[in-house]
Amino acid sequence: MSTMDNLEDAFAGESQANRKYLAFAKKAEDEGFGQVAKLFRAAAEAETVHAHKHLRVMGGIKSTKDNLQEAIGGETHEFTKMYPEMIEEAKKEGDNKALQSFEFANKVESIHADLYQKALDNLGKNENVDYYVCPICGNTVENSAPDKCPICGASGTQFMKIS
């Protein structure tokens, strides 16, 4: 393996650790273990520092225009190839929980690609748009939360405004 391969592996591992530790923090908080939740959040932030450093060293952070184009490509790959294959496999195996998770993500990835394209098209125009995210399926919408999520049916009052 090359150093670049190692950087890619380290970036992936640190990124996954960040998300895992944030999920662990939420569970600890739900169970009343606030101090443990705080530790998980601190470690998650440290893992983000590591991941960002690895990504910078790999040359993976470019201009905003280039980053938007890369994001569009990644999201498009997910909703046209990656998730459809995962959905089919989950159907074959009868894993309904995984199927729902994949289907929610698949629907939202195309929304993300469209939002990134819109941002790319409007780059430099300094438009102020608010974004809201459904905590159940990840649906991402502009300007205001819907009354009801069109993907999972969650109440719009549950949507999180992103700052």
Predicted confidence (pLDDT) per residue in 96-151, tens digit: 999 999 999 999 999 999 999 999 999 999 889 999 999 999 999 999 999 999 99
| Residue type, position 86, single letter | M
User: For residue 112, how many other CB atoms are within 10 A of its CB?
Assistant: 20
Enter the DSSP assignment of 79.
I
Residue 126 has what pLDDT? 85
Regarding the domain with residue range 62-127, which homologous superfamily does it belong to in the CATH classification?
Ferritin, core subunit, four-helix bundle (1.20.1260.10)
CATH 2.20.28.10 domain position(s) in the chain:
128-163
CATH 1.20.1260.10 domain position(s) in the chain:
3-57, 62-127
Paired tokens of 4:
């670049």
- What's the whole-number mean pLDDT along residues 39-43? 98
CATH of segment(s) 128-163: 2.20.28.10
Residue with tokens 């952070």: 61
- For 77-106, the pLDDT digits (tens) are 999 999 999 999 999 999 999 999 999 999
Beta bridge partners of 20: none
Enter the DSSP assignment of 125.
S
**11 class by beta-carbon count within 10 Å (0-12 exposed, 13-18 middle, 19+ buried):** buried
Q: Does pTM surpass 0.75?
A: yes
Bin 59: left if φ > 0, else alpha if -120 < ψ < 50, else beta: left
- The CATH class, in words, for 3-57 is mainly alpha
Residue 127 has what pLDDT? 86
To the nearest whole percent, how much of the chain has pLDDT over 90?
Answer: 99
User: For residue 20, is pLDDT > 90?
Assistant: yes
In angstroms, the CA 131 to CA 114 distance is 13
Helical pair 96-121 and 83-93, crossing angle rounded to 10 deg:
170
